[in-house]
Copies of this chain bind each other. A is one copy, B any other.
Amino acid sequence: MALKNKVQSIFVSGWRKNAWLMISSSRSINTFATGFDDNRILKSPSLVSIDLPDVWNSSSTGYSELSAHKFASEQTARVIDGKQIAEEIISKVAIEVTRMKKTIGEVPGLGVILVGDRKDSLTYVRNKITACEEAGIKFKLTKFSDNCTEDEVCDAIMRFNVDSSFHGILVQLPLPQHLNEAKILDVVKLEKDVDGFHPMNMGNLAMRGREPLFIPCTPKGCVELLIRYGVEIMGKKAVVIGRSNIVGLPTSLLLQRHHATVTIATALTPNAEEITREADILISGVGVPNMVRGSWVKPGAVVVDVGTYPIEDSSCEQGYRLIGDVCYEEASRVASLITPVPGGVGPMTVAMLLCNTLESATRKYNFV
Contact = CB atoms under 8 A, between A and B. Distances in A.
Interface string A268-312: 111000010000000000000000000000000000000000000
B230 A28 contact: yes
Contact of A203 (B41, B200, B235): B200
Contacts of A203: 198-206
Interface in A23-76: 23-24, 28-31, 41-44, 46-48, 50-52, 54
How many A residues touch the partner, as a band?
A: 35 or more
B206 A182 contact: no
A223 interface: yes
A227 B258 contact: no
Interface in A219-253: 220, 223-224, 226-228, 230-235, 243-245, 249, 253
A105 interface: no
B50 A259 contact: yes
Contact of A261 (B24, B253, B263, B355): B263
Interface string A326-368: 0000000000000000000000000000010010000000000
Given A30-B226, A182-B209, A220-B44, A264 B265 contact: no
A257 B96 contact: no
Interface in A63-108: 89, 92-93, 96
A259 B205 CA distance: 21
A270 B233 CA distance: 13
A208 interface: yes
Nearest to A95: B41
B257 A47 contact: yes
A40 to B, nearest CB: 9
A47 B205 contact: yes
Contact of A227 (B44, B205, B209, B355): B44
Contacts of A209: 48, 51, 181-182, 245
B262 A206 contact: no
A194 to B, nearest CB: 14
Contact of A41 (B29, B93, B181, B198): B93
B211 A48 contact: yes
B41 A96 contact: yes
Nearest to A90: B41
A210 interface: yes
Given A30-B233, A50-B257, A259-B266, A207 B245 contact: yes
B228 A43 contact: yes
A44 B223 contact: yes
Specify which of A43, A92, A234, A264 lies most central, judged by the most chain B CB atoms within 10 Å of its CB.
A234
Interface in A175-190: 181-182
The 9 closest A-B pairs by CB, nearest first: A199-B203, A203-B203, A202-B203, A263-B263, A29-B234, A261-B269, A41-B92, A30-B227, A43-B227
Given A43-B228, A44-B227, A259-B268, 15 more contacts: A23-B234, A30-B226, A30-B227, A30-B232, A30-B234, A41-B92, A41-B96, A44-B220, A48-B209, A200-B200, A202-B207, A206-B206, A235-B270, A261-B264, A262-B263
Interface of A: 20, 23-24, 28-31, 41-44, 46-48, 50-52, 54, 89, 92-93, 96, 181-182, 198-212, 215, 220, 223-224, 226-228, 230-235, 243-245, 249, 253-254, 256-259, 261-266, 268-270, 275, 355, 358
